[in-house]
């Protein structure tokens, strides 16, 4: 009987959380509140800043310009009124966005994203993971399948393997050797939501296809760290091209309305 009660509680939680859906209508398992995920995101971002140098000056201004233009199009209904943007000195082509409104871009990504539109593709994609609550899904699933992860541990601190696990689940694992790739469904959603978001901000969504081609071409056939958690294939390219039918009108409307970001490229 002692075993049945916890199982019944879990089943009830799963049933109730199944009512949640992503922005594209997919059913989701989200056992934690947005506030709990925001605490995890803030703690993870703080730890990242302790371990990698933060870059200021021209690179920071460029990335912030692109990120601010994209985040300005995030509906207020998501509850994030201000986004924190940081550039980190690291050669890996990595970027991430965390619950609570934290965006990190490594300098290595600026060697692959050739212009503001390509950088907006990456940033829009990462923000889309946050808007679709993909991190909540991953943490929720892991908490049901692994006794090694507990919310108490996550909120208490991020030291040790448990902390690396949380950071991996939030989308930062590549830096810590804990690769936790987003699922293919998560990736597809982030691609489509991110494409619309960047288009609404006045960035050319057609740049997304070239960005993924650059990612695939970098590293002599070996995808960079960022790509190892963001798989790309012909189906992804086809989906992006198909979505342009929706994104291009959004882009044209944004430009006609005066949304014309002019973020100066560094090199």
The catalytic residue positions are 126
Place of tokens 């233009």: 69
Measure Cα distances from 40 to 6, 132, 169, 171, 219 in Å.
25, 16, 10, 12, 32
DSSP the chain: -TTHHHHHHHHHHHHHHTT-B-TTS-B----S-HHHHHHHHHHHHHHHHHHSPEE-SHHHHHHHHHHHHHHTTS-GGG-----EEEEE--SS--EEEETTTEEEEEGGGGGT--SHHHHHHHHHHHHHHHHTTHHHHHHHHHHHH-TT--HHHHHH---HHHHHHHHIIIIIGGGGT---PPPHHHHHHHHHHHHHHHHHTT--TTHHHHHHHHHHHTTTTSPPHHHHTS---HHHHHHHHHHHHHHHHHHHHHHHTT----PPP--
């Amino acid at each position: 009987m002692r075993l049945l009660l916890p199982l019944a509680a879990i089943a009830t939680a799963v049933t109730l959380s199944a009512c949640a859906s992503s922005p594209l209508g997919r059913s989701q398992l989200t056992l934690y509140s947005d506030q709990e995920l925001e605490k995890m995101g803030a703690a993870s971002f703080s730890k990242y800043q302790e371990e990698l140098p933060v870059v200021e000056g021209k690179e920071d201004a460029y990335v912030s310009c692109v990120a601010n233009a994209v985040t300005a199009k995030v509906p207020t209904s998501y509850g994030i009124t201000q986004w924190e943007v940081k550039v980190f000195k690291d050669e890996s082509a990595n970027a991430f966005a965390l619950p609570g409104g934290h965006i990190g871009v490594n300098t290595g990504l600026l060697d692959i994203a050739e212009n503001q539109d390509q950088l907006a593709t990456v940033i829009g994609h990462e923000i889309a993971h946050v808007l679709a609550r993909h991190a909540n899904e991953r943490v929720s699933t892991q908490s049901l399948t692994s006794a090694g992860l507990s919310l108490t541990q996550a909120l208490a601190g991020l030291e040790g393997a448990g902390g690396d696990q949380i950071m991996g689940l939030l989308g930062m694992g590549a830096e810590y050797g804990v690769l936790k790739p987003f699922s293919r469904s998560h990736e597809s959603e982030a691609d489509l939501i991110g494409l619309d978001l960047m288009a609404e901000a006045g960035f050319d969504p057609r740049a997304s296809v070239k960005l993924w081609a650059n990612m695939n071409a970098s590293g002599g056939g070996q995808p960079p760290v960022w790509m190892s958690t963001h798989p790309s294939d012909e189906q992804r390219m086809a989906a992006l091209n198909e979505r342009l039918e929706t994104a291009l009108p959004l882009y044209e409307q944004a430009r006609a309305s005066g949304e014309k970001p002019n973020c100066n490229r560094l090199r």
